[in-house]
Amino acid sequence: MSNEMLRLPAELLYKNEIDALIENETNPVPDGWQMSPKSVLTYIMGGKSGKVNITPKYMGDKKIVEICIATLVTDRALLLIGEPGTAKSWLSEHLTAAINGNSSRVIQGTAGTTEEQIRYSWNYAMLLAKGPSFESLVKSPVYNAMETGTIARIEEISRCASEVQDALISILSEKRISIPELSEEVSARKGFSVIATANTRDKGVNEMSSALKRRFNIVVLPAPSDMDTEIDIVKTRVAQMADSFKLNSKLPDISAIERVVTIFRELRDGQTLDGKVKLKSTSGVLSSAEAISLLVNSMALAGSFGNGNVTDYELASALQGAIVKDESKDKAVWTEYLENVMRKKGKEYSKLYSECKERNA
């Protein structure tokens, strides 16, 4: 059955790794956790446990993951901030999968998220029939996590309205939910915490209040620091996704990935890799995640309409779509990049350049 699911949760996808880490545990395990902080680190960064190879889940600075895990050990809530596509949700899912074996206690923050979704709401049929009681209570993921001493995730917290965000303040500082209707208070068990993620780049988000911010330890996830790491990330994820989507296309060769990552990095950083020429940046976000979906997209194009090989033709179409989001502004930036940078990059880029130029005309 699991093979038919579009996307498996992390704890099922990597069940054998988690089991191996639990089995080979040698360090003390904090209350409410299923493995020690060090094993969590191994699970995220990769390594070996007994005979099982642990695949790296987050490729980047180990220091950042250490801070995240240490924060959760100290019962502080964790707030992951970063540009889109810097693996915030990915990291939070894997952290909860490793710590609790359950990454499903999620609240998706949207403009329509209400306070009830963070605290609790009522099963109205039951409420009318039996009156207020624990039975008629519908518990939120946060409530559940408090009861079981586990970690709740709140995605895109900055998309929630401010008053909804602020409902978290008392939960995080007092670690309890009061239910005035029942004159009851529910205290969190040891191990309870919250991982929230927030976007820095999206428009129309609600600024988080400083009262709430103070209750979080904030970790900023950076874009991949160097070229090789990013190529690695893109390569690995493209292979994984191509596997599950069954695209009738060969994986793009390493030079294609390299070229896409180069273009993305240069436009994102606003300068060429050698630092010699400064460039204008696009309005859209050119994250590694964007690069991954671009390559998968071009694989789909090649598989469905081409000969099954990702060529410059497919790359150029996908690049145009990914880079030019705001027609008037991005087009100029992309033209400038093509003329000033890509044209001078030499033979490897010449075909891609002419394909791109044709599409951007």
Partner 1 sequence: MAEYFGIRHFSPACAFYVTEFLNRIKPECVLIEGPSDLNNLIEPLCNPFAVMPCAVLAYTVNPPVKTVLWPFADFSPEYRAMLWAIENNIPVRFCDLPSSCILAQMVKEDENISGTEEVPERKVSVYERMEKISGMDNDSFWEYTFEQCENYDDFIKASEEYGKSIRENSDDSDNHNKLREAFMRKIISESEKQFNTDKIAVITGAFHTMGIKNIPFSKDDEKLTKKLPETECKSTLMPYSYYRLSSRSGYGAGSKAPAYYEILWRNRIKNTLKDSSAEYLTRIAEYQREHGFQASSAQVIEALRLSETLALMRGGKTANFNDLRDSAVTCLGNGSFAEISEACADVEIGTKIGILPDGTVCTSVQEDFMRQLKDLKLERFRSAKGEELELDLRENIRVKSEKSAFLGLNRSFFLHRLRILGIHFAEQLQRYQENATWAELWRLQWTPETEIEIVEASLNGDTIEQASQFKLSTQLAGSENLAETAVILSEVFLCGLSDTVKSAVSAVQKLAVGCSSVKDTGDTIGTLSGIIRFGNIRRIDTEPIIPIVQQLYLRFCLNLDSASVCDNSASEEIVSAVSKVNDACLSHDFLETERLISVLSDIADSDSANPLVSGFTCALLMEHGKITPEKLSELVSRRLSGGTPAPEGALWFEGLAKRNRRTLINRLSVWEKLCEFISELDDEEFKPVLVCLRRTFSEFSPSEKAEIAENIGEVLGISREDASVFINSELSEDEKQAVDDLDDFDFGDI
Q: Which residues bind partner 1 (CB under 8 A)?
A: 37-38, 41, 63, 66-67, 69-71, 73-74, 76, 79, 81, 210, 213-214, 217-220, 271, 275-280
Residue type at 46? Answer: G
Shortest reach from residue 261's CB to partner 1, in Å: 23
Residues pairing with 177 in the sheet? 186
Shortest reach from residue 76's CB to partner 1, in Å: 6
CA atoms within 13 A on the CB side of 158: 21
Euclidean distance between CA atoms 64 and 71, whole angstroms = 11
Nearest to 323 by CA among 270, 360, 273: 360
Euclidean distance between CA atoms 116 and 84, whole angstroms = 27
Shortest reach from residue 121's CB to partner 1, in Å: 32
* Sole residue written with tokens 């008053």: 163
Nearer to partner 1, 57 or 105 (CB): 57
Euclidean distance between CA atoms 218 and 118, whole angstroms = 20
Nearer to partner 1, 209 or 248 (CB): 209
Nearer to partner 1, 281 or 320 (CB): 281
Within the chain, strands assigned E span 47-49, 52-54, 77-82, 106-108, 120-122, 137-139, 151-155, 176-179, 184-187, 193-199, 216-221
Euclidean distance between CA atoms 279 and 218, whole angstroms = 31
Nearer to partner 1, 176 or 214 (CB): 214
Nearer to partner 1, 73 or 182 (CB): 73
Nearer to partner 1, 65 or 186 (CB): 65
Shortest reach from residue 276's CB to partner 1, in Å: 7
Nearer to partner 1, 262 or 272 (CB): 272
Shortest reach from residue 60's CB to partner 1, in Å: 15
Residues pairing with 139 in the sheet? 120
Task: Give the pair of three-digit tokens for residue 179.
Answer: 């239910």
Shortest reach from residue 151's CB to partner 1, in Å: 16
Shortest reach from residue 148's CB to partner 1, in Å: 23
Q: Are strands 52-54 and 47-49 parallel, antiparallel or unpaired?
A: antiparallel
Nearer to partner 1, 71 or 117 (CB): 71
Nearest to 264 by CA among 237, 235, 294, 242: 294
Shortest reach from residue 74's CB to partner 1, in Å: 5
**C-alpha Rg value of the chain to the nearest Å:** 23
